[in-house]
Amino acid sequence: MVGFLLWVLLLVVCWPLALLALVLYPIVWLLMLPFRLVGITVNAVFSFLGALLMLPARVLRGRPV
């Protein structure tokens, strides 16, 4: 909602810039999508490695997780 209000304010102040932002937003989103997916994947791999390293400690502790 805040982003929309800022865009409306930009539309009132400088409408060509607001229209340019409206057109470029999906293109920038599509360009950033692979980097977001890589970030999610790297986070998942590090979480998996952390769980794998902590597995012996969890097994030797003897209590259920």
Residue with tokens 């304010």: 9
* pLDDT over 80 (residue 65): no
Q: What is the torsion angle, in degrees rounded to the nearest 10, for the CA atoms of residue 38, residue 42, residue 43 and residue 48?
A: 140
pLDDT of residue 22: 92
Question: Model pTM?
Answer: 0.61
pLDDT score at 40:
98
pLDDT for 60:
86
Q: How confident is the model over 25-63, as pLDDT tens digits? A: 999 999 999 999 999 999 999 999 999 999 888 888 876
Query: What DSSP state is assigned to residue 33?
Result: H
